[in-house]
Amino acid sequence: MVVLIAKHLKDHCSRAQIRYSVPEEAEHGTFVGNIAEDLGLDLTKLASRRFQVVPSSRSPYLEVNLENGVMFVKDQIDRELICKQSASCQLNMEVFLEDPLELFRVEIEVVDINDNPPSFPETDITVEISESATPGTRFPLESAFDPDVGSNALRTYDMTTNNFFFLDVQTQTDGNKFAELVLEKPLDREQQAAHRYVLTAVDGGQPPRTGTALLVVKVLDSNDNVPAFMQPVYTVSLPENAPAGTLVIQLNATDKDEGLNGEVVYSFSNHISSRVKELFSIDARTGRIEVRGEVDFEESSLYQIFVQAKDLGPNAIPAHCKVLVNVADVNDNAPEITFSTVTESVSEKAAPGTVIALLSVMDRDAEDNGQVHVEILGDVPFKLKSSFRNYFTIVTDGPLNREHVDSYSVTVVARDKGTPSLATSKSIRVQVSDENDNAPTFTQPVYDVYVTENNVPGAYIHAVTALDPDTGQNSLISYSILECDIQSMSVKTYVSINEETGYLYALRSFDYEQLKDFSFMVQARDSGAEELASNATVRVIIVDQNDNPPLVLAPLGKNGTAREPLPRSAEPGYLVTRVVAMDADDGENARLSYSIQRGNENGMFRMDWRTGELRTARRVSTKRDPHQMYDLLIEVRDHGQPPLSSSASVLVVLVDSVAEGRGGGDKGATTKAKDGALDLTLILIIALGSVSFIFLLVMIVLAVRCQKDKKLNIYTSCSARQARSRKKKISKSDIMLVQSTVNVGGLAWPKVPVEESGSFGSHHQNQNYCYQVCLTPESAKEPTSSPTLTTTRCGAVMSAYTDPQPDIISNGSILSSEVRLINHYSSPMCGNTITLVLS
């Protein structure tokens, strides 16, 4: 509980009170409460303000850490030892701060536990009964004592079943139980002089505890007369805190017998409580009852003293009377607040006037000391409404919003009208229950997910997260992927999502060369009665891996070996051939370098590692056998990690002149070379024709679909973005125009080596102008493993023809034969047309 009451005194010191509760028998170190935190004190200023406990209020059972204000159990607390049988047990402590002076009263309620079983004063209880006693005669038994209070106190008695006696358990006005032994059948001492039974006392704890004693009934001979009191009940008034020795009442009982049979002695009855014996005493000869201990009204406002008078004759039968002691009250009790019902939570849509708690307020004091005023502290959207008598209800008094304030601490203060006035406060925590008034919100509107190609199917790729400020079921989010198509297939065949965690998993292995990126939408939906949802876009970007080795496109030769002529008179720097290769990968994975791995005798040749140009490094030796060829192994390596490579075998043949090298040899060899070229060309024509037909069908389907989308005016973020052409933009430096070639022996050869040019030109042949696009190696990269058509959003159209056309020359190297295929990539969206001549 937090601060109960605060006062500002005239001497500028403030006082406040706080209340805690701790169960008895709590072990050393048990946390009771943080005084500084509950009082709202600044922990960092406790030392500077000399936070300390008032020495006179220190308790051996509790200790306060003066550095952080934490109160804990110092020594085990025995409630019965401290408060006896008082219904309320409380320890008090006072702490204070300086600069300015602030005094705080701390009340610690010790809560009783059922740690004591009932016990009888003696293990053997002896009752003497005259054999002349008639059935129905009652004999009060010595009461058992249970130091626990409340529901843990003594509840009832029981005894062994028999034919002579039964127990009658009665309740005193103060709630204590006592048992009377009632004679049910006349006794005969001559037949049985003593009866033994087990007497059991049972308390009300859970589980109950019991105590037993052996009840011995001795049968005696009878005495004719018994003492008699003037009245059976006496009522007296005693002021609270009366000093010891104060007379309560003077009793007098008479006996008609004479001698010892008429001499009366007084004593407390056996069933009187031990607490009464501690507070009062009786003189056995005079019957004078006096105050022995400290009488406290808060402990009990009424005490019942049961007195018996018995003569000294044989077989004496005692007489009994009851003395009621009323204790006068002073205002030393603060009001008590009890919550009968408390609503654990109230809906944030609750209307004003909704009841959240029912409480009652009472003060054990009387008259003005017991008149109480009740109010709610602080600015909270609640108010008190009087119900009936001392009952009140706490109702809502304004709108609630759980997302702004999810709980309220409502403190009720009750103050009596005594002098001085006493006050009590009690707080309850009211939780504001949630309504599903907030949709889930993704942490990002768009998620970019990078996935390396060739991933393992089922691999985790990313996680999307949505937040919902609601609670419980209203904030329980489930994730799903909205249906859409990617490459005419459902997105759910590409990725899946864990509906509980939002984890995304790839359902297939992605290929960068086929699909570079795609998008889809995920949805987060809560589990409220009226479900709310929101969407986010996930863009999956495929990251290229170096999984394709370079493909050598030129020079081409029979059985993988190309033959290239070299005039014996060639000067150093003569261009022998140019190795052209491509890599289907992208970026560094497609950047190629060329080198000679084998056959470069005496460093005869040098290779441009960037362009693939093979040139002579020196003149051909005159002593070299003209029939001895140079067998070169050219390696093409990419820059991926790890790098991949391919090789090409080139046979350099020494010739006397270019014409002889190109057309020399027998006609059979020329015919075979030409046939091989024609066969390769035919294969390429068939392949490209098939691809063109398929592409035409795809373009028709896409055109119909786009027209349909325009009519419906539907936008989908899940359109699959297939592989975009990563070709380098063609600049003037990448393009040249070349002349036609001269056919020598059925093969096309340049008249002279042509160096690289960076300008456009034209060539006149047969009264026609022919413009030929030539690409440098850096702009001629193709992301496929063979000369195939790449489908992009820009579209593609292919055509082929066999008319003689100018040859493709890059850096002065002839790349194609007489018959070639030309791909026209037309871009209706981009507005560009590129013509690529392939051998």
**Quick one: 531 and 587 in the same domain?**
no
**d(C-alpha 467, C-alpha 475), whole Å:** 8
**Quick one: 555 and 648 in the same domain?**
yes
Strands 763-765 and 768-770: antiparallel
Average pLDDT over residues 158-183: 89
Nearest to residue 499, comparing CAs of 520, 525, 478? 478
Q: Where are the alpha helices (DSSP H) in 69-191?
A: 79-83
Q: Could you report the per-residue pLDDT of 430-454, keeping only the tens digit for each?
A: 988 888 888 899 999 999 999 988 8
Distances (CA, A) of 5 to 1, 39, 104, 747: 12, 10, 10, 111
**Quick one: 136 and 86 in the same domain?**
no
**d(C-alpha 304, C-alpha 301), whole Å:** 10
Q: Does some domain include residue 342?
A: yes
Predicted pLDDT of residue 161: 92
**d(C-alpha 279, C-alpha 241), whole Å:** 11
* Contact criterion met (CB below 8 Å) for 781 and 548: no
Average pLDDT over residues 666-670: 40
Nearest to residue 473, comparing CAs of 434, 512, 527, 420? 527
**Quick one: 78 and 133 in the same domain?**
no
In this structure, how many other beta carbons lie within 10 angstroms of the beta carbon of residue 284? Answer: 11
**Quick one: 579 and 647 in the same domain?**
yes
Percent of the chain whose predicted confidence (pLDDT) is above 90? 28
Q: Does some domain include residue 801?
A: no
Q: Does some domain include residue 116?
A: no
Last residue of a domain, one of 166, 200, 220: 220
Q: Does some domain include residue 670?
A: no
Average pLDDT over residues 785-799: 32
Q: Does some domain include residue 246?
A: yes
Buried b (16+ CB within 10 A) or exposed e, 43-72: eeebeebebebeeeeebebbbbeeeebbbb
As a whole number of Å, the CA-based R_g of the chain is 55
In this structure, how many other beta carbons lie within 10 angstroms of the beta carbon of residue 532? Answer: 17
**Quick one: 322 and 362 in the same domain?**
no
**Quick one: 300 and 340 in the same domain?**
no
Lowest mean pLDDT of 14-23, 157-166, 298-307, 451-460, name the range: 14-23
What's the total number of domains in the chain?
6
Strands in 605-607's sheet, in edge-to-edge order, are 575-578, 613-616, 605-607
pLDDT band at 781 (very low <50, low <70, confident <90, very high): very low
Helix (H, G, I), strand (E, B) or coil at 663: helix
pLDDT greater than 80 at residue 782: no
In this structure, how many other beta carbons lie within 10 angstroms of the beta carbon of residue 180? Answer: 18
Of the two residues 298 and 135, the one the predictor is more confident about is: 135
**d(C-alpha 242, C-alpha 718), whole Å:** 92
Burial grade of 237 (CB within 10 A; 0-12, 13-18, 19 or more): exposed
Predicted pLDDT of residue 97: 87
**Quick one: 458 and 537 in the same domain?**
yes
Q: Which residues pair with 171 in a beta bridge?
A: 177
**d(C-alpha 107, C-alpha 101), whole Å:** 20
Lowest mean pLDDT of 158-167, 357-366, 673-682, name the range: 673-682
pLDDT greater than 70 at residue 342: yes
End-to-end CA distance of the chain: give it in Å, rounded.
92
Q: Does some domain include residue 700?
A: no
Lowest mean pLDDT of 219-223, 407-411, 651-655, name the range: 219-223
Nearest to residue 27, comparing CAs of 70, 58, 73, 60? 73
Last residue of a domain, one of 220, 252, 286: 220
**d(C-alpha 93, C-alpha 361), whole Å:** 25
Of the two residues 273 and 812, the one the predictor is more confident about is: 273
Predicted pLDDT of residue 548: 82
Q: Does some domain include residue 717?
A: no
Predicted pLDDT of residue 815: 35
**Quick one: 233 and 203 in the same domain?**
no
Last residue of a domain, one of 525, 543, 561: 543
Of the two residues 157 and 331, the one the predictor is more confident about is: 157
Of the two residues 161 and 313, the one the predictor is more confident about is: 161
Strands 605-607 and 613-616: antiparallel
**Quick one: 243 and 316 in the same domain?**
yes
H helix or E strand, kind and range, residue 701: helix 667-712
pLDDT band at 835 (very low <50, low <70, confident <90, very high): very low
Residues 6+ apart with CB under 8 A from 589: 544, 545, 546, 548, 583, 638, 639, 640
Of the two residues 94 and 315, the one the predictor is more confident about is: 94
Helix (H, G, I), strand (E, B) or coil at 651: strand
User: Which residue range is the domain that position 503 belongs to?
Assistant: 441-543
Of the two residues 773 and 154, the one the predictor is more confident about is: 154
Q: Does some domain include residue 679?
A: no
**Quick one: 305 and 380 in the same domain?**
no
CATH code assigned at 258: 2.60.40.60
Nearest to residue 159, comparing CAs of 151, 146, 170, 169? 169
Predicted pLDDT of residue 658: 59
H helix or E strand, kind and range, residue 700: helix 667-712
| pTM, two decimal places | 0.37
* Contact criterion met (CB below 8 Å) for 140 and 110: no
Q: Where are the beta strands (DSSP E) in 269-379?
A: 280-282, 288-291, 302-311, 319-328, 336-342, 345-347, 355-362, 372-376
Q: Could you report the per-residue pLDDT of 183-200, keeping only the tens digit for each?
A: 999 988 778 889 999 999
Q: Could you report the per-residue pLDDT of 475-516, keeping only the tens digit for each?
A: 899 999 999 999 889 999 999 999 999 999 999 999 888 888
Of the two residues 386 and 806, the one the predictor is more confident about is: 386
Nearest to residue 552, comparing CAs of 476, 462, 458, 638? 638
Predicted pLDDT of residue 320: 93
pLDDT greater than 80 at residue 341: yes
pLDDT greater than 80 at residue 752: no
Q: Could you report the per-residue pLDDT of 713-740, keeping only the tens digit for each?
A: 433 333 333 333 333 333 333 333 333 3
Buried b (16+ CB within 10 A) or exposed e, 655-681: beebbebbbbeeeeebeebbeebeeeb
**Token representation of residue 300:** 């009990």
Arithmetic mean of pLDDT over the chain: 77
pLDDT band at 321 (very low <50, low <70, confident <90, very high): very high
**Quick one: 379 and 423 in the same domain?**
yes
**d(C-alpha 589, C-alpha 582), whole Å:** 11
How would DSSP label each residue in 552-601? EEES--BTTEEEEEEETTPPTT-EEEE-EEE-SS-GGGG-EEEEEEE--G
